[in-house]
Chain A
Amino acid sequence: MSAYIPVIGLEIHAELLTKSKVFCTCSAEFGGDKNTRCCPVCSGMPGTLPIINQTAVEYAVKAGFALGCDINKFSTFDRKNYFYPDLPKAYQISQLYLPLCINGLVPIEYEVDGEKKTKNIRINRIHLEEDAGKLIHDDLNGVSLADYNRCGIPLIEIVTEPDIGSADEAKAFVEKISLLLQYAGVCDCKMEQGSLRCDVNISIMKPTDTELGTRAEIKNLNSIKAIGRAIDFEIYRQGKLLDMGKRVVQETRRFDDNRGETKSMRSKEDAHDYRYFPEPDILQVNFTDEDLDAIRAKLPEMPYKRLERYLADGLSETDAKIIVNQKILSDFFDTAVKAYSNPKSVCNFLIGEMMRRINLGEVALDNLPFTAEQFAKLVEMADTDKVSKNDAKSVFRTMCEKGGDPEEIAKAAGLLITNDTGKVLEVIEEVLAANEKAVAQYTGGDQKVFGFLMGQCTKALKGVCTPKVIKEELEKKLKSL
């Protein structure tokens, strides 16, 4: 097989986190009993009309800002016509001619064989549209049922230029988009629930070719892994065809996750003619500079800003990136630091202990049994010698297992350091009494036995006192002998 250059463009659909749907007031929440979150408008009853949800427009513009886009001050909606039972109006309200956002740029970082690489991926456009319903096929009874709850959920479609050259780049890009949208607060990007979906357009060409190859479109990939696998398979499939002197057919394909292969869905001849035309029921969207400034001002802190902040707080670049690259982790970290303002210390415990347990699968980041404040308290206790560094780890294990307040856990386990001098002196007396020989050696000038005596005391005073205090008291006592 000769070497081909893959040329890849992505279309990413992201559901917006608005409370209500894009063209009616129904709830836009995920799930719900079948057909309970729909009304005459979103279920396409005769005579109904769409009303544009301004929050959805705002979220789409926020996404545009997050992805470095220009915002069209004058934007319109269009109808995309096709028949499908999950689309009750038989047209989708979308934007073809004048989308809300255009000309974006998203930098990505990825690794090839351990080597770090960066690249800029251009965004062609982001437009706002409505989602369709869901079909439930009951093969047993030979019926198909329609659930319209998802009809009218606001979606943005992010369309890239064909700037992506490999599965690794595509995966890094989708991860980056997911991160940016989450930071912008416009999408939860749960691919497994379908709130982020990806179509891949891919063709291959020889380095000497001047024209792009024929592309295939792979529809509805619902995990980062599937995106990578589908692209790799498609590069292999198209390359094999060309090697055999055959041609790649322009078509729509779907990815079979079990077999790791793409399969033809429909050829170009069967492709829909969507008969787009301007949506007459919705007036154009106009923005003034002030409108756009107001939306930009509402954009939360984006990842690169947060990275800057963490570096300024003294975190290492590696650590800072680990934290920033998961919004939920970063939010947890920020909350913890708010409760205990020692970012480096919180970071060390977070990366060292918490991430270790998360990677082991003992706890899940999106379902932690303890709060960020409780986590911060534990770090602070370790830093202020209320619990030994080692014991802090064991307290944390309990927090991961059962949750709860670290101080109470430490107390119950007898790990809480109180520095009770009465108790310390008592223990020292006991240890010295039980080790007369060693004491004699020490007073005889053999300082080496101090370590032994210190060890005995520490063992008996575990969780009560810091070694520092024990050492002071022990030295004092021995000198007085």
Chain B
Amino acid sequence: MDITALKIRDMRAALDKKEVSAAELADAYLTRINEIDGSLESYITVTAEEAKAAAAKAQTIIDKGEAKPLTGIPLAVKDNICTDGVKTTCSSKILENFVPPYDATVMEKLNAEGIVMLGKVSMDEFAMGGSTQTSAFKKTKNPYDLGRVPGGSSGGSAAAVSASLCAAALGSDTGGSIRQPAAFCGVTGMKPTYGRVSRYGLVAFASSLDQIGPIAKDAHDCAVILNAISGYDYHDGTSAKLDVPDFTAKIGQDIKGMKIAMPKEFYADGIDDDVRNAVTEAAKWYEKQGAVIVDCSMPSLKYAVAAYYLIASAEASSNLSRYDGIKYGHRSEVGDSYSDLVCNSRSEGFGDEVKRRILLGNYALSSGYYDAYYGKAMALKQKIREEYAEIFKGCDVILTPTAPTVAYGVNENISDPAKMYQADICTVTVNIASLPAISTTCGYDKDGMPIGMSIIGKHWDEATVIQAADAYEKQFERIPAKI
């Protein structure tokens, strides 16, 4: 069997039993990246030398019998997570040559575990998009069909996992950016509760919504990574001062009696039949196992996309103001004055989608418009949180489609931003409400494209979400991408 297709815990066993060395494992991935990534375009930067050195270091730890769950495991990292000494571009020309002088907290934690980082993977520019086609560098393709998008914004992470170009990857999720590409690429992606994982070192898109999380081959692997990256961090004032439970703890426990809510608005007209049917079939399976399906409603869902785009873009317009060409990043050669320099650097450095959102965000925050836009959006945020709280009074988890469609063609949808934004309907409320959610594959359409379902949990209850996803995955036969 190809070792690159193994799950993390099988890889762990193979490494610990010395059936494979950390170096062999890293080499297998690097070779595969060389062979395949030319057409898949998931990696922006491959850190082959660093990976080999990390593998050697990991091997000495393994040899001493001191291996931790991720020691020697080759991972890919989304290119908006700062890596000391390794370029972190956010798929933007404006950060094309930006080399952070520090590691994100998640990288410090993973490095302490002895992981082998294979490289940095592509994304939509500044995580804005759902296709990875707004990347200034690598417009990643879907491993199931190179003519289709991998989703986004963590499209590089999901595609690399799906094509076995890494054991697992880190992504970030602001409005679905982990879950939707995981769904499109037929893998599992987890967005933790806001505050579970430190954001320090994650290049900010929308600070109140951003959260780092894993994309892996299954829910169990996601739990293993989540165990390593979670916890309070002094450097992130919004990280929670809570003990981190073992996220694998509930795996294998009976789901009999688990109450699963299906808010009807998530299954309405905008959802493709194939998707609705696959998720409904999954619900039936859960019911057969003894779970209880609960009907419920989220009336505010129809406003969620508008609220999300106002909040996220408002925060983004501020977060992205620091890219002014003064201290780092792209600086225009044109212009004599300070305002020319800033204007030209940003005009040249940012892509269209980023500019669109900066404009939207600035507009929403402008005096005279603040109350009508940002103010209203914040009120909706409160409403959506209340509706979730109400639903969770009667259930343990919520089941929804991850996206209204399967992965679409690389040239579709790009000319209609409003339509693109509407495709985030299934995922954005989770970020607005700070909830944990996982996306896993629940079926394939007639073209063999994966369909994702999302399981949303209560605050800090990742373990139940993982338990529910794992139960389904254990009986569901995945069809790996043929690449």
Contact = CB atoms under 8 A, between A and B. Distances in A.
Interface of A: 40, 43-52, 79, 81, 83, 85, 88-91, 146, 273, 275-277, 280-283
A43 B102 CA distance: 13
Contacts of B338: 85
Contact of A43 (B100, B207, B235, B327): B327
Given A89-B322, A277-B318, A281-B207, A50 B237 contact: yes
Contacts, number: 100
Given A46-B98, A47-B81, A280-B206, 11 more contacts: A40-B100, A46-B82, A46-B203, A48-B200, A48-B235, A49-B199, A49-B238, A146-B327, A275-B318, A277-B314, A281-B238
Nearest to B368: A273
Nearest to A148: B327
In terms of DSSP, what is the predominant structure of the interface of chain A? loop
A40 B322 CA distance: 13
Interface string B323-355: 010111000000000110010000000000000
A77 to B, nearest CB: 10
Interface residues of B, number: 44
Interface stretch (B36-44, B359-367, B422-430): B359-367
Nearest to A91: B318
Contacts of B80: 47
Given A47-B202, A83-B324, A91-B318, A282 B237 contact: yes
Contact of A88 (B208, B326, B374): B326
B256 to A, nearest CB: 39
B173 interface: no
6 contacts: A40-B101, A44-B322, A85-B324, A90-B318, A275-B362, A277-B315
A283 B100 contact: no
Nearest to B329: A46
Nearest to A41: B235
B238 A46 contact: no
A50 B237 CA distance: 7
B104 interface: yes
Contacts of A40: 100-102
Contacts of A146: 326-327
Interface string B198-215: 011111101110000000
A90 B237 contact: no
A85 B326 contact: yes
Contact of A45 (B102, B207, B235, B238): B102
Instruction: Report which residue of A83, A91, A146 has the largest number of chain B beta carbons within 10 angstroms of its beta carbon.
Output: A83
A280 B326 contact: no
Contacts of A44: 322, 327
A310 B235 CA distance: 48
B21 interface: no
Nearest to A46: B203
B95 interface: yes
A51 B326 contact: no
Contacts of A280: 206-208, 238, 315
Contact of B237 (A81, A89, A91, A283): A283
B402 to A, nearest CB: 25
Interface in B357-403: 362, 365-367, 370, 374
A275 B101 contact: no
A90 B339 CA distance: 13
B327 A49 contact: no
Contacts of A79: 318
Nearest to A24: B235
A49 B324 CA distance: 18
Top 5 A-B residue pairs of the complex, sorted by shortest distance between their CB atoms: A90-B321, A280-B208, A275-B365, A280-B207, A46-B203
A83 B321 contact: yes
B237 A46 contact: no
